[in-house]
């Protein structure tokens, strides 16, 4: 399992991304991650 490092812009405690995910490797980090599925399963 790999470590994912998250950098925040201008020291804001939030990072928002819109991505197209087909498959994503198992990872961990010290931040909360929330996924919102718009289409698919």
- The whole-number pLDDT of residue 19 equals 80
Query: Residue 11 — very low, low, confident or very high, per pLDDT cuts 50/70/90?
Result: confident
- As a whole number, mean pLDDT of residues 3-26 equals 81
Distance CA 29, CA 8 (A): 13
Q: Model-level pTM? A: 0.50
Q: What is the mean pLDDT of the chain?
A: 82
């Amino acid at each position: 399992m790999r470590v994912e490092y998250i950098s925040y812009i201008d020291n804001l405690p939030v990072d928002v991304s819109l991505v197209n995910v087909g498959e994503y490797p198992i990872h961990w980090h010290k931040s909360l991650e929330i996924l919102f599925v718009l289409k698919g399963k």
